[in-house]
C-alpha cells in the first residue's frame, strides 16, 4: 500500500528545515560552540509547541519524558560532570522524535534535507584525506569539525539512514545502496565502531528481505561469509579487537567507571566522579552511551532508557516490526562504544511511540497480504 505524500510546504515544514539546518551547522560547522548550541536548543524548545497536543495519544509519554529530564537536571547539578544547560539536549532530541512520529506519513522534506547532509558527508570524506592520529597503532581519521571526527560521523550516518528508512516505509520506496556507501565512508574515515555497526545494519536489512522471501538463504550466507572474509583479508578484525582491548580502550574505561560508580551512594545515584583517573577526568566521556547517561544524568535517566530500549526490542519482535528491530539493534551496538544520545534519543522516542500505538507494522501487513 502506498500512502499519499502531501506536497504542500507548511509552517511546520519551514520550522523543521530551520531546526535541522541549525543542528547540522552546530555539529559540522566550526563556529562558536556556545552560539550554535544556544540556537539549536532555542529552536528545539520552540518546536515543542509544534508537536505537543494535550489531546494527542503521546501527551502522557511526553510529560513522562519531561519528568525524566527533570531528574537528569538534578543529576547534573549534583555531579557537575557537565554544564547543567546541557540537559536541554534531552527534550530537544525527544521533540524531534515526537515530530518523526507525528508526521511519519509526510517526511519527504525531512528526507530531502537529510539526503543533502548525507551527500555533504560523503563528498567531504572523498575529497578530504584522513590524517594520521596514532603513529603507534597506524590509525588514520578524517576530521569533519571540532565536534565530529572520523568515528563520530558514523553516528550521523546511522541516524540519516534510519530516517530514510522511516520515510521509505511510508512512501513505498526502497534503496539500500546508501548503506554500502556509508560503510565505505566509515572505513575511509577511520571509524571502527561505524564499520561494525553499519555492517550489522546492512546485514540486518538483507535478513529482513530474507523474511519477506525476496532473497535466498544461500545468497545471504554468501554475503556474510564474503564480508567476514574481506574484514580478515584487510586485517580489520585485529584493528577492531585493538579498538576494544588496548590500554585506555573501551573495556578499560568501562571497568574503571564501574569502580567510580560504586564508590559511594552519591556517585551511584547522581553520576560518578572520575577524578581519581586522570584519563577519564580529561576525556569526560565513557565512550558508551549508557554509561554516559549515568555519568551525566544519574541512575534514574540511565535506567529509564536502558529498560525502555530492552522493552522496545521485545515489543518490536512481538508486533512484527522487524525494521524497527534492526534500527534499534544497530543503535544499541553503536551506542555501546561511543556517546550517541545526541542522535539516537530521537530514534528511540519515535520507536517508543510507534510500537506502543495501535498501528500494525507495514512489514507484517505486507507479509500477511502475500
Quick one: DSSP state of residue 88? G
Mean pLDDT of 49-73: 80
Alpha-carbon torsion, ordered 178, 181, 183, 184, to 10 deg: 180
Angle 237-176-187 (CA atoms, 0-180°, nearest 5)? Answer: 30
Per-residue pLDDT, 219: 61
Count of alpha carbons within 13 angstroms of residue 153, beta-carbon side: 30
Lookup: cell for 167: 520515510
Q: What share of the chain is helix, strand, coil (3-state, %, to 5)?
A: 70, 0, 25
Lookup: cell for 247: 590500554
- Is residue 6 over pLDDT 70? no
Residue 133's pLDDT band, with cuts at 50, 70 and 90, is low
Q: From the CB of residue 109, how many other CB atoms can be counted at a distance below 10 Å?
A: 21
Minimum mean pLDDT among 82-96, 194-208, 210-224: which range?
A: 210-224
- Is residue 209 over pLDDT 80? no
Residue ranges covered by each domain of the chain: 11-369
- Is residue 214 over pLDDT 50? yes
pTM of the model: 0.87
pLDDT digits (tens, 9 = 90+) for 270-319: 999 998 888 888 888 899 999 999 999 999 999 999 999 999 999 998 88
CA pseudo-torsion sign 66, 67, 72, 76: positive
CA pseudo-torsion sign 50, 55, 61, 62: positive
Strand partners, 132: 140
Q: In the structure, how many helices (H) and strands (E) does the chain have?
A: 18, 2
Q: Please say whether the beta carbons of 325 and 313 come within 8 A.
A: yes
Per-residue pLDDT, 61: 83
For all residues of the chain together, what is the average pLDDT? 83
Per-residue pLDDT, 2: 44
Burial string for 267-301 (b: 16+ CB within 10 Å, else e) reads bebbbbbbeebeebeeeeebbbbbbbbbbbbbbbb
Amino acid at each position: 500500500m502506498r500512502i499519499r505524500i502531501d506536497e504542500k510546504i507548511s509552517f511546520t515544514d519551514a520550522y523543521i528545515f530551520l531546526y535541522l539546518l541549525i543542528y547540522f551547522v552546530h555539529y559540522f560547522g566550526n563556529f562558536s560552540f556556545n552560539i550554535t548550541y544556544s540556537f539549536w536548543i532555542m529552536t528545539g524548545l520552540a518546536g515543542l509547541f509544534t508537536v505537543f497536543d494535550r489531546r494527542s495519544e503521546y501527551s502522557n509519554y511526553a510529560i513522562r519524558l519531561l519528568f525524566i529530564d527533570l531528574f537528569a537536571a538534578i543529576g547534573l547539578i549534583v555531579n557537575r560532570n557537565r554544564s547543567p544547560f546541557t540537559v536541554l539536549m534531552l527534550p530537544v532530541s525527544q521533540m524531534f522524535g515526537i515530530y518523526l512520529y507525528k508526521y511519519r506519513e509526510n517526511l519527504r522534506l525531512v528526507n530531502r534535507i537529510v539526503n543533502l547532509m548525507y551527500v555533504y558527508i560523503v563528498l567531504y570524506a572523498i575529497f578530504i584525506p584522513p590524517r594520521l592520529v596514532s603513529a603507534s597503532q597506524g590509525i588514520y581519521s578524517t576530521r569533519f569539525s571540532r565536534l565530529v571526527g572520523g568515528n563520530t560521523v558514523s553516528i550521523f550516518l546511522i541516524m540519516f539512514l534510519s530516517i530514510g528508512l522511516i520515510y521509505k516505509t511510508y512512501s513505498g520506496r526502497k534503496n539500500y545502496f546508501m548503506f554500502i556507501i556509508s560503510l565505505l565512508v566509515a572505513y575511509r574515515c577511520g571509524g571502527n565502531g561505524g564499520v561494525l555497526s553499519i555492517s550489522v545494519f546492512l546485514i540486518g536489512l538483507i535478513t529482513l528481505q530474507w523474511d519477506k522471501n525476496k532473497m535466498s538463504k544461500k545468497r545471504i550466507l554468501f554475503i556474510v561469509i564474503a564480508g567476514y572474509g574481506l574484514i580478515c583479508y584487510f586485517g580489520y578484525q585485529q584493528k577492531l579487537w585493538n579498538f576494544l582491548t588496548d590500554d585506555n580502550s573501551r573495556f578499560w574505561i568501562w571497568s574503571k567507571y564501574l569502580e567510580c560508580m560504586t564508590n559511594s551512594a552519591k556517585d551511584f545515584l547522581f553520576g560518578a566522579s572520575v577524578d581519581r583517573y586522570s584519563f577519564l577526568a580529561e576525556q569526560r566521556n565513557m565512550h558508551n552511551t549508557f554509561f554516559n547517561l549515568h555519568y551525566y544524568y544519574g541512575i534514574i535517566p540511565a535506567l529509564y532508557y536502558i529498560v525502555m530500549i530492552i522493552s522496545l526490542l521485545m515489543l518490536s519482535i512481538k508486533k512484527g516490526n522487524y525494521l524497527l528491530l534492526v534500527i534499534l539493534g544497530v543503535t544499541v551496538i553503536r551506542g555501546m562504544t561511543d556517546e550517541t544520545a545526541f542522535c539516537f534519543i530521537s530514534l528511540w522516542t519515535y520507536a517508543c511511540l510507534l510500537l506502543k500505538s495501535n498501528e500494525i507494522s507495514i512489514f507484517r501487513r505486507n507479509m500477511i497480504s502475500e
